Structure 1
Amino acid sequence: MKAKRKTLIRHLISNQNIGTQYELAKLLRWKFGIDVTQATISRDIKELGLIKLPLGNGEFFYAMPNTVPPPLAPSKDKVRRTLADNLLTIEAAGHLVVVRTLPGNAHSIASLLDALNMENVMGTIAGDDTILIVIREPEQTDGFIKAIYKMMV
């Protein structure tokens, strides 16, 4: 019964966000007719090595330890502040954009841009004070630069 319960727990947490032991026990009871106590759920969670990951809205959910957490989208205020305080210049050449930052800030700005998941951005490469951004199509470059400047105000 224990092995079956653990398999069902893995199945449940893989298919939906479950944030509490109570919620997990309730789902086991409702979906599979398995009555368990909170103490049993707690032991199963420990034995399975489950971890809690953030949802980004202040809540957390259980996940298998090899689960990659979803990237948290930065707040508009954080984006504005980070770009306005650290970005020096933006220049484009075809589908490439070069961003110059204050020394030591290129990595954090590149990570911030990556977290925005902009459809026209293929990727970023950052040094100490320079970021190379690859835009999918050359005609999207101007729109990308305008979007960056718009985020700064």
Structure 2
Amino acid sequence: MLKEERQKLIKDIIKKYEVETQDDIVQYLNKAGLTVTQATISRDLRELNLIKIPLNNGKFKYGIPVETHFQPEERLKRVMNDACIKISLVDQFVVIKTIPGNAHAVGVLLDDLSWEEKVGTVCGNDTCLIISATPHEAEIIESRLKQMITLYA
């Protein structure tokens, strides 16, 4: 199961049950046929920006914030549409050329995304380099980025 599918399942569990601990989530996922560790769940909860909500009995449960102020993928889409000049694929690297002074903003937003294909980013003034482990993973990232912006529509 892909991380995105597992995280969607976690959100569904949080909506359906009063989940108090990460171990509870592990148990629900195990019942659904997934074998996961508590460390994986901890990362997922952080990436999903889930919060602890107080209950009337003094306990807490996991919940989904009503409004998430920081949505890196949506912000990346806006910045890419405003500042991207060109996206190039070179082996296992994706190179984003931006208007001067914008590459760092793109890199920060990319770093906040949980794209498994991305090993890391290096940014200068007008160039952002995304590093992947394989050329195929770089192609996936290039495709995602190009789908975000009207320049390539």
Counterpart check, 1:134 vs 2:131:
yes
Distance in 2 (CA, whole Å) between partners of 1:88 and 1:136 is 25
Distance verdict in 2 for CA 1:140–1:129, change over 3 Å: same
Larger radius of gyration between Structure 1 and Structure 2: 1
Distance verdict in 2 for CA 1:24–1:147, change over 3 Å: same
Distance verdict in 2 for CA 1:56–1:129, change over 3 Å: farther
Q: Alpha carbon RMSD of aligned pairs, Å?
A: 3.0
Residue in 2 that maps onto 1:114:
111
Distance in 1 (CA, whole Å) between partners of 2:149 and 2:57 is 46
Distance verdict in 2 for CA 1:56–1:127, change over 3 Å: farther
Residue in 2 that maps onto 1:88:
85
Identical residues among aligned pairs (%) = 26
Give me the TM-score of the superposition, normalised by structure 2: 0.53
Q: Is the 8 A contact 2:92 2:138 kept in 1?
A: yes
**5+ unaligned residues in a row in structure 2: which ranges?**
1-19, 24-49
Report the secondary structure of 2:67's partner residue: coil
Distance in 1 (CA, whole Å) between partners of 2:89 and 2:73 is 26
Report the secondary structure of 2:101's partner residue: coil
1:141, CA displacement in angstroms?
2.2
Distance verdict in 2 for CA 1:130–1:57, change over 3 Å: farther
Counterpart check, 1:58 vs 2:67:
yes
Distance in 2 (CA, whole Å) between partners of 1:141 and 1:18 is 36
Residue in 2 that maps onto 1:79:
76
Write the letter of the residue equivalent to 1:74: P
Give me the TM-score of the superposition, normalised by structure 1: 0.53
Q: Is the 8 A contact 2:51 2:65 kept in 1?
A: no
The match for 2:59 among 27, 31, 36 is 27
Report the secondary structure of 2:100's partner residue: coil
How many residues are paired up?
Answer: 101
Distance verdict in 2 for CA 1:27–1:110, change over 3 Å: same
Residue in 2 that maps onto 1:18:
52
Residue in 1 that maps onto 2:120:
123
Distance verdict in 2 for CA 1:14–1:82, change over 3 Å: same
